[in-house]
Every structure is written in C-alpha cells, then in structure tokens.
Amino acid sequence: EKAVNLKKDLAEMQEWMTQAEEEYLEKDFEYKSPEELENAVEEMKRAKEDVLQKEVRVKILKDNIKMLAAKVPSSGQNLATELNVVLENYQLLCNRIRGKCHTLEEVWSCWIELLQYLDLETAWLNNLEERVQMTENLPDKLDTVNDALESLESVLRHPADNRTQIRELGQTLIDGGILDDIISEKLEAFNARYEELSHLAVSRQIALEQQLQTMRETDHMLQVLQENLVELDRQLTSYLTDRIDAFQIPQEAQ
C-alpha cells in the first residue's frame, strides 16, 4: 500500500511539473507595454518561489522511497527508477524557471535603465534649450555676448556617453521584441529633438562667435581712434600753448 501511495505521489508530482512547464515556459508572452512586462516579471518570481517550495515535497518523496527500498528492495527499486526521472525533470524545471525569471528581471532592469538615461538626457536638452533662448535679443555689449557664448559652450560640452547607452539599451530591447513600439516612439522623439536643438545651438554658437569677433574688432578700432584723438588733442594743446600759427603746423593739425 505504501508503494502504491508513493507511486501516486510521484505521478502527481510529474503531472504538476508538466502543468507548470506549460503555464510558465511554453506560453508565448508578448510584452507590448511596461505593465505587461512588469506583470510577467512578477509572475515568474511567483513561479520560481512555487517551484522551489516543492523541493521539500521532492525530498520527502526521495526519503520515503529510500526507506521503502531498504525494507522492500523489489518495490523500492522500481520506485527509485521513477524517482530519478522525477528528480531530473524537477531539476530541469527549476533551472529553466530560474533562467527565465533572471532573463525577465534583466529585461525589466534594462527598461528602467533606459528610462533613467532618457530622463537625464531630456533634462540636458531642456537646459540646452534654455541656454539657446538666453542668447536671443542680447544687448550689444561685449561682456554680455561673451558670457552667453561661454554659457552655451559649457552645455554643449556634454559627453555623449548617455546617448550611447540609450541607443544600445533601446536596440537590445527592440531586437528582443520587448516594448519595441513604445521604445521606437520614445527614441524617435528624443533623437528628433536632440538633432534639432543641437543644430540650433551650434548655429547660435557660430553666430555669437562671429558677433563677438566683430565687436572685438570694432572695440579695437575705437580704442585706436581714441588713442589717436588723445594724441592729436595733446599736440593741438601744445601748439596753442606755444602760440604757433596754424600755417606753421602739419596739414592734419590744420
């Protein structure tokens, strides 16, 4: 009777493993939204816990069959063979569910990481847009234009590492068919805004550099003119002090 019960327990265990395999491993999942992906991760975590909890039952079956084999070798031997099959299948099931759970957790982590990088770069784009707007309608002052140019250039020196991560993470998920529509839409919007603002910022940078160069040249010319006027004033004052007749001094002084 004990052998019959153990044989029944082995059959039930095998049936449960078959159902678990069909439910958790053979079912096709489509992750078209973050909610679907998150639900799948949580489901696989529960599946892993559920399977690992059966380890106690498997151990009890194993111990009972060993005890029976010691008492009734003939019956125990047959059950031991069936037990080995169940143990192999159970170990395989555990490994596969662990693997799928790990994969889904990695995918979810990849998605969260992508969102974090997008948030960082979006904040940078907002800052860049603000700096570009600050370069509009500047007063015609050398210091003001120079400060605006330096401020814009400091933002443009932003490293490209985050954008590289966005591209790689996004492509990894899209290649796996994970959230591909949503990610493609996000990346398309981000890249379009990045290209637009980058080109605008570089154009403003060039315009400010040209404006600054023109202002510096004008400032230099005015300085030279001022110096010449001061020298001329000094000479004229000297001529007047010495009461020199106008026709006796150089033509430019006349």
| Tens digit of each residue's pLDDT (9 = 90 or more) over 145-163 | 999 999 999 999 999 899 9
Q: Which of 10, 178, 204 is CA-nearest to residue 105?
A: 178
User: Which of 80, 92, 94 shows the shortest CA–CA distance to 6?
Assistant: 80
CA distance 77 to 243: 138
Chain mean pLDDT for the chain:
88
- Comparing CA positions, the residue from 95, 75, 101, 105 lying closest to residue 10 is 75
35-44, 68-77, 196-205: lowest mean pLDDT where? 68-77
In order of their start, the domains of the chain are 1-210 (1.20.58.60)
CA torsion, points 244, 250, 251, 254, in degrees to nearest 10?
-30
Residue 92 clears pLDDT 80, i.e. is over it: yes
From CA 105, how far away is CA 98, in angstroms rounded? 10
pLDDT, position 197: 96
Question: Which residue in 120, 151, 133, 150 sits closest to 197, CA to CA?
Answer: 133
**Rounded-to-integer distance, Cα 178 and Cα 34, Å:** 9
What region, left, alpha or beta, does residue 183 occupy, with left being phi > 0 and alpha being psi -120 to 50 degrees? alpha
pLDDT more than 70, % of the chain: 91
pLDDT at position 246: 59
Flag whether pLDDT at 171 surpasses 80.
yes
**CB-based contacts of 85: which residues, under 8 Å, 6+ apart?**
14
Residue 41 has pLDDT above 80, yes or no: yes
249 or 236: whose pLDDT is higher?
236
Segment 175-223, tens digit of pLDDT: 888 898 999 999 999 999 999 999 999 999 999 999 999 999 998 999 9
Weakest mean pLDDT among 59-63, 73-77, 125-129, 179-183: 73-77
Beta-carbon contacts of 183 under 8 Å, excluding residues fewer than 6 positions away, are 114, 170, 173, 174
More confident residue, 77 or 199: 199
Note the pLDDT of residue 72.
Answer: 67
Note the pLDDT of residue 199. 96
